[in-house]
Amino acid sequence: MKKAIVVGASSGIGEELSRILSESGYVLGLAARRLELLNKLCNELPNKSFVKQIDLSNPDAAMCNLTELIDELGGVDLVVIMSGTGEVNPELQWSIESICIATNVVGFAAIANVAINYFLKNKSGHLVGISSIAAVRGARYAPAYNASKSFVSSYLEGLRQKVTNTRYPITVTDIMPGYIDTDMAKGQKLFWMASVKKAAAQIYRAIKNKKQHVYVTKRWRLIAWLLKILPARIYNRF
């Protein structure tokens, strides 16, 4: 039976993806900060699941807890890292910037490191990380958030290059969502907002097809292309 761990399963896309995976026959490890929500989800899933509290803002503990969860499942085939944080920060408050960096950069890299080393040891597996369309360029209203998501994409690319050279059947997938209807979608005049169900379904399809890089929803590929080619003299006016 297939086994998967979803880090950030307590709400939003992580919760919905966990439901899809369970309905598709996976035994699940559910991980996040909020244990009460994880336990509730665990009781609602059709297949067996395990619960573990993992907080990315404490990377050393997160690494130990993820290792324990893998052992409790008796191994894992798929690890999806959904957890992250982000705040609009027009005043550039360091307290907001530092939390974002600690969670989205250090915390993400810590548990991605555990997952990829496990897959390398076992010579197979699938690591999925959630970056963002924000990874494409910096933004004055959330400098740390955009930079942290750029780190996630680059880190995943580095891991993909590493495992490709081993020739083991290990897949590394970078999911780049646009606006999804969750608590993370802050701000006004948000366009192309996708539902959690639609986003989770597209992510699951990317997992099944072992894609390396996917925009969610697909039309955000156009925005990414436009952002990349837009001259700085124009982009900096936004």
User: For residue 167, what pLDDT is reported?
Assistant: 92
Q: What is the mean pLDDT of the chain?
A: 92
Q: What is the pLDDT of residues 18-31, one digit of tens each?
A: 999 999 999 999 99
Q: What is the pLDDT of residues 130-146, one digit of tens each?
A: 999 999 999 999 999 99
- The catalytic residue positions are 145
At residue 188 the predicted structure's pLDDT band, cuts being 50, 70 and 90, is: very low
> Can you identify the CATH homologous superfamily of domain 3-235?
NAD(P)-binding Rossmann-like Domain (3.40.50.720)
CA angle 210, 153, 94 (to 5 degrees): 145
Q: For residue 149, which of 121, 108, 181, 195 has the smallest C-alpha distance? A: 108
Domain ranges of the chain: 3-235
> In this model, does residue 184 exceed pLDDT 60?
no
> In this model, does residue 185 exceed pLDDT 70?
no
Over residues 63-85, the mean pLDDT reads 96
Cα 28 from Cα 45, distance rounded (Å): 9
Contacts of 29 (CB under 8 A, 6+ apart): 3, 4, 5, 6, 49, 50, 51, 52, 69, 70, 72, 73, 76
Over residues 59-79, the mean pLDDT reads 98
- 170 three-class SS: strand
Q: Is 26 exposed, middle or buried (0-12, 13-18, 19+ CB in 10 A)?
A: buried
- 204 three-class SS: helix
CA dihedral angle for residue 120, residue 26, residue 218, residue 12, rounded to 10 degrees? -110
Cα 140 from Cα 217, distance rounded (Å): 24
> In this model, does residue 149 exceed pLDDT 70?
yes
Cα 4 from Cα 67, distance rounded (Å): 13
| Residue 3 and residue 75 in contact, taking contact as beta carbons nearer than 8 Å | yes
> In this model, does residue 189 exceed pLDDT 70?
no
- Measured in whole angstroms, the distance separating CA 162 from the mean position of its chain's CA atoms is 19
Over residues 175-200, the mean pLDDT reads 75
Over residues 82-100, the mean pLDDT reads 91
Over residues 205-228, the mean pLDDT reads 90
Q: What percent of the chain has pLDDT over 90?
A: 78
